[in-house]
């Protein structure tokens, strides 16, 4: 029986896995499964699977968000994070049965629990105000919190800092993330950090005397877009900066002996287009060594998508013998699991042209649980043993995949007009027939410094199901193709990147006879929205366009975006105060009179990354010019609408995109 085409609301049926965690003895692993319930709310629950059993068992239940499962070193319990009481708090679950015990009742919640190596402490992070007492924390009831919010909303917001808002957090207040110890035996709390800084916990030494954290605790922190690794002596509270104060450093972990620290970062040589590198710091010699000097790919998972939910380990992770490190790297549209020796010898442990989104290491057997997504399967977990043998452990989304036709993207590579090599994919329409002609939609990713890749992408599959050829590429500025490539769009927005996209369209029109050159569409979000706006102002070859969470005016972006005050300088080389004319010259709004392509503008009202005034300016200008334009505003949504926004609004967004292209293509 033929499978049906994928539908707009099919993402409601996905089960999305994340955060695999081996138990200390390697006999089992835990993970997080996120779904959307009948109330169209996200919920996440914990599962456990014994390595000698075929199926996983569900640990937590209900319409809550449970995450971050961490086994105790003695393998007797699991600490995890849950919002079942109202705010995210820490809970302890015995492995031999019984109910979970609530450990924290912090007013603003407690998150990201980890165990000390001896199991005596649980370390976590909590938002605290100056003067808060960790021994006297009380979680507010739903009614109390509602009353507090109502009182806050009656007061004016007094702004004194440069970075006073965040797309993910909204308007910022005086609360700061502090590192807290929970003494498991004494059942009390010890606050390790304080002051007007955010502290991001990294690791605790094997002997339990030192905590690593990242952040910026200098007096000029709000003006310095840097992050360092610090060591905090638990007994004395003395803080020592370990990195050079000249870049962005994070993901620091002690070696098993505690003699070395591995960490990630870079010296911002190319600002936010700099490849992430891997470093070793020797605590005895005080020497820093970069292991990745000869690599031309970034460490970490940089694949763009709309199906991933929840965080997972990307590395670095030490081997048990302390001679190797493991991590995920992004290269040529895929993410792989790598191993590197302390001498810099690099080895691919898992490379099947897919999206490795996370892993967990079994120190006893030198094996891994790896989380993998492919263009035709949202996610699954696999066992990768010491002999490089791979065994599938889960079969997520089996029912959905058995019912729905999922297309397999075809790789393409071509030369841009100036000779640069560019890589991408096309996806043929559902029920494709030889000899028929199909309209094409060009998709453009955001960032710009991410990459499209070998992962499941609901929106791409949906457009193919609607009868379109979907074209998506990694133009210069994308990660995965080396430092020169990812840096190439800086100072050249609308230049080489625009030519790459137009060359991609030229290439597929010449190569594939089934594409109707008279029915071309284009869409993209964030940087992809900027590029969509730029395209319709510079060519009329597209018959319809949808711009999402876009940028239309770099002049106003400088003052309204949560990153505008530094992003212009970092990406263009100048800001509003340096050269307003140059910013206007690369603003799509300048070219509004050239736009003849019917344009749909989609924008979230709570978007602080690319604020809605960017969409408003573009809409009013085009409408004033009597152009064919519509504007859709999404209330209560932010920059993440397409990925983790309210499910009802995600459905509305996709419906508007499909309807616009159906109308004009």
Q: Could you give the CA distance from residue 471 to residue 290 in angstroms, rounded to a whole number?
A: 38
Q: How far is CA 210 from CA 192, 468, 544, in A?
A: 11, 56, 58
Dihedral-angle region of residue 430 (phi above 0 means left; psi in -120 to 50 means alpha; beta otherwise): beta
Contact in structure between 625 and 592 (CB atoms under 8 Å): yes
The phi and psi torsions of 501 (rounded to 5 degrees) equal -65, -40
Contact in structure between 599 and 540 (CB atoms under 8 Å): no
R_g over Cα of the chain: 25
Residue 283 CB partners (closer than 8 Å, separation 6+): 258, 259, 260, 261
Contact in structure between 338 and 282 (CB atoms under 8 Å): no
Q: Give the Cβ contact number of residue 280 at 10 Å.
A: 19
Look up 639 and say whether it is catalytic.
yes
Helix/strand/coil for 191 = strand
Look up 526 and say whether it is catalytic.
yes
For every residue of 343-386, DSSP letters joined together read T--EEEEE-SSSEEEEEEEETTTTEEEEEEEETTEEEEEEEE-T
Residue 58 CB partners (closer than 8 Å, separation 6+): 45, 46, 47
- The closest of 43, 15, 59, 17 to 369, measured between CA atoms, is 17
Of the residues 526, 550, 556, 642, which is catalytic?
526
Query: Tokens 């999922």, residue?
Result: 406
Of the residues 330, 445, 639, 642, which is catalytic?
639
Task: Catalogue the active-site residues.
Answer: 526, 639
């Amino acid at each position: 029986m033929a499978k049906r085409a994928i539908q707009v609301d099919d993402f409601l049926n996905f089960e999305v896995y994340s955060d695999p965690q081996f138990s200390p003895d390697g006999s089992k692993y835990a993970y997080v499964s996120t779904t959307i319930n009948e109330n169209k709310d996200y919920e996440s629950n914990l599962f456990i699977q014994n390595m000698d059993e075929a199926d996983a068992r569900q640990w937590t239940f209900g319409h809550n968000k449970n995450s971050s499962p961490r086994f105790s070193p003695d393998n007797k319990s699991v600490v995890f994070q849950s919002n079942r009481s109202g705010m995210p708090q820490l809970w302890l679950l015995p492995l031999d049965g019984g109910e979970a015990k609530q450990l924290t009742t912090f007013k603003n919640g407690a998150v990201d629990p980890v165990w000390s190596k001896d199991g005596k402490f649980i370390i976590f992070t909590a938002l605290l105000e100056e003067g808060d007492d960790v021994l006297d924390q009380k979680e507010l009831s739903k009614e109390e919190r509602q009353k507090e919010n109502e009182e806050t909303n009656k007061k004016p917001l007094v702004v004194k800092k440069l970075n006073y808002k965040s797309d993910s957090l909204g308007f910022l207040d005086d609360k700061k993330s502090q590192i807290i110890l929970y003494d498991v035996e004494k059942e009390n709390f010890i606050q390790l950090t304080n002051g007007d800084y955010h502290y991001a916990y990294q690791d605790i030494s094997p002997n339990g005397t030192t905590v690593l954290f990242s952040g910026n605790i200098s007096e000029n922190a709000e003006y310095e877009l840097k992050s360092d690794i610090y060591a905090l002596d638990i007994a004395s509270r003395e803080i020592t900066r370990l990195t050079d104060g000249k870049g962005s450093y994070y993901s620091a972990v002690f070696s098993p002996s505690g003699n070395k620290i591995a960490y990630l970062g870079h010296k911002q040589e190319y600002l936010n287009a700099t490849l992430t590198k891997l470093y070793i710091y020797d605590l005895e010699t005080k020497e820093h060594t970069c292991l990745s000097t000869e690599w031309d790919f970034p460490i970490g998972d940089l694949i763009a998508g709309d199906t991933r939910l929840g965080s997972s380990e990307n590395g670095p992770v030490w081997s048990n013998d302390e001679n190797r490190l493991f991590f995920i790297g992004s290269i040529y549209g895929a993410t792989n699991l790598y191993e590197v020796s302390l001498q810099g010898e690099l080895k691919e442990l898992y490379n099947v042209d897919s999206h490795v989104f996370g892993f967990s290491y079994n120190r006893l057997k030198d094996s891994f649980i790896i989380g993998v997504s492919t263009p035709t399967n949202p996610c699954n977990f696999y066992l990768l043993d010491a002999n490089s043998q791979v065994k599938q452990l889960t079969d997520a989304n089996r029912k959905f995949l058995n019912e729905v036709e999922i297309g397999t993207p075809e790789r393409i590579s071509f030369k841009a007009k100036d000779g640069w090599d560019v890589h991408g994919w096309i996806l043929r329409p559902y029920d494709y027939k030889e000899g028929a002609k199909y309209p094409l939609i060009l998709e453009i990713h955001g960032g710009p410094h991410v990459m499209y890749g070998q992962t499941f992408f609901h929106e791409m599959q949906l457009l193919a199901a609607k009868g379109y050829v979907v074209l998506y590429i990694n133009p210069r500025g994308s990660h995965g193709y080396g430092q020169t490539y990812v840096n190439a769009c800086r100072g050249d927005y609308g230049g080489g990147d625009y030519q790459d996209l137009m060359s991609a369209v030229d290439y597929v029109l010449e190569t594939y006879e089934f594409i109707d050159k008279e029915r071309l569409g284009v869409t993209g979000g964030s940087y992809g929205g900027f590029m969509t706006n730029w395209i319709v102002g510079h060519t009329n070859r597209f018959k319809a366009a949808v711009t999402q969470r876009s940028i239309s005016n770099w002049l106003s972006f400088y003052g309204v975006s949560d990153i505008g005050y530094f992003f212009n300088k970092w990406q263009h080389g100048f800001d509003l105060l340096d050269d307003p004319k140059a910013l206007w010259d690369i603003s799509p709004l300048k070219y509004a009179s050239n736009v003849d392509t019917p344009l749909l503008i989609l924008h979230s009202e709570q978007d602080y990354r690319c604020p809605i005034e960017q969409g408003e300016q573009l809409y009013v200008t085009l409408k004033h010019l009597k152009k064919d334009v519509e504007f859709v505003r999404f209330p209560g949504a932010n920059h993440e609408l397409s990925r983790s926004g309210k499910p009802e609004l995600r459905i509305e967004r996709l419906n508007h995109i499909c309807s616009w292209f159906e109308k004009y293509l």
